[in-house]
Structures are given as C-alpha cells and as structure tokens.
Amino acid sequence: MPHLVAPSLLSANFLNLEKDIEMVNHSQADWFHLDVMDGVFVPNISFGLPVIEKIRKAALKPFDVHLMIIDPDRYIERFRKAGADIISVHTEACIHLHRTVHLIKNTGAKAGVVLNPHSPVSLLTDIIRDADMVLLMSVNPGFGGQQFIENTYRKVRDLRELILKKNSVATVEIDGGVDLRNAPLLIKEGADILVAGNTIFASPDPEDTISLLKNF
C-alpha cells in the first residue's frame, strides 16, 4: 500500500489550533497523530481527553492516538469514546501487553504497540500477530524536535523480517525526527506510516511539506 503521513499535533500552534486542523483536513495527510503524555512515563505533559474530544469535532481524518502513559488500560475505552481510531501503547508501560492489545481491539479501535529506541524488536515476537501496527520511536519519547536516531533504519529492517516470519499484518509507523531527508530511506526500508511534527508545522508551507512527504 502507499505509505501514509500523520502530522503530529504536538507541534501545532495551540494558540490557533483550529487553523492547523483545517490545514491537515485539506492536505494530503492521512491521519492526525495525537501524543498523550502523563509526566510520569515520559518527562513531559501534553494534552488529554477533553482536548481530543474538541479536536474530534473539527478533524475529518482518523485519529492515531499514542499513549505515553503508565497503566493505559484505565483509559482505553475513554480514548476510544473521545474519537481514537488507532490506540498505541508502549511495551515498556504494559505489564500484560497481550491483554492491553485485546482490550483496545475490543473497543473497535486498531491496536498499536510502541518500542522505545533502546527496546529490541525481539520483544514483539509473541505479540506481533495480535498487533495492527508497530510504532518505532526514532527519538526518546517526551519532546518534539529531537534528532533522529540513525539505528532506526536497522530496526525497521528487523521489524519487517519479524512481520514476514510471523505472517503478521501489522503496519510499521515511525515517530520522531522524521524529515524530508530521512523519509525516503525509511519508506525504502519498509515504513508504512510517517509521523512528522516540526518538519510540517515549522515549515513555511506545511501543506506543501505534507505533499512532499506523501509523494516520495
């Protein structure tokens, strides 16, 4: 399938968020990427359910909700009701990952599992066939605008091999430091979804930048 582009609203202008939502609506972007941070699992706090509910009223594309929080099971149904179409949880935050993945799927949302940069792909061996998506963090989670970790290319290859070996249908998403330089190689290595924040929203022409990311 053609690769997808998911602008991260963490980098949007929160003083004029509706304008950036409308830009994404009219662009070639496929999803909205929403980073939820609790200040415990990651050293930052972003936004939560009330903000996502408001964004849902203006956004016309699927919501890719990335939970960077501890004990995500407590909130999965509420994020689904708030408008999440895909809910991703960190392997590092889930004691019972299989149960969490199926809790997500039982709400009707697609289930993503996330690996931090230090976590090996091998951690997914026993869950890869249950997951709809794997999100590889290409920066340490918690803040936008970080430098892309080059080891991500190898992890994409390793993940593709695991998906094929296990006959999984999981797609591969990359989040962190994605730009116009590294995006083509990520796609070549097997990435299906590119999350981009600063690259899009700090651009002089965000809609054109989305087009460039979409059409490599």
Q: Which residues form the catalytic set?
A: 35, 175
Cα gap 72→38, rounded to integer Å: 10
Count CA within 13 A, CB hemisphere, residue 44: 13
Collapsing DSSP states into helix, strand and coil, what is residue 119?
Answer: coil
CB-count exposure of residue 187 (10 Å: 0-12, 13-18, 19+): middle
- The secondary structure of 171-184 as a DSSP string is EEEEESS--TTTHH
Cα gap 214→216, rounded to integer Å: 6
What DSSP character marks residue 30?
-
3-state secondary structure 134-173: EEEECCCCCCCCCCCCCCHHHHHHHHHHHHHHCCCCCEEE
